[in-house]
Amino acid sequence: MKYAQDIADATQEIFSSMVMLEVTPGEPFKRADSKLSSSISGIIGLAGTIKGILAIHLPNAAALAITTAFLGMDVEEIDEDVCDAVGELANMLGGSIKAILDPSGSEIQISMPSAVHGEEYAVDCLADAEAVAIPFTFNGQTFIVELQISEGS
């Protein structure tokens, strides 16, 4: 699956240098249009010669553990701090992937990050998009980083 190794490398680099957590990538897969439960997702939009989204999907427990490590303070509920931290992780991942997809830096723009969370919600797959999702594990927790793109205008 195209870009799987790039996503794995970028995610491991960001987590080890910014969050101080070692994360281990699993086998890439294509995520179905399935609902996410008790989770939070950070999403970055891509526009230009390549259109799509980069998303990080975190079960609540993983989001709390990552935010605690990222901010260096105990976080016990999904709140504004968690939404901001997950959005910032999506932003850093989006910037890393943009640099891979657009080495010149002028062909693709990325959006401001957004975070959505809830007991049940969907982040639908884009029609006609090439998609890859990579599961990661750390300290018994799991999360997914997903890239959906379509090239051309």
Q: What is the pLDDT of residues 91-125, one digit of tens each?
A: 999 999 999 999 998 999 999 999 999 999 988 76
Whole-model pTM over 0.85: yes
Nearest in space to 137 (alpha carbons), one of 8, 40, 3:
8
Structural domains of the chain in order of their starting residue, each with its CATH number: 4-151 (3.40.1550.10)
User: What's residue 151's pLDDT?
Assistant: 79
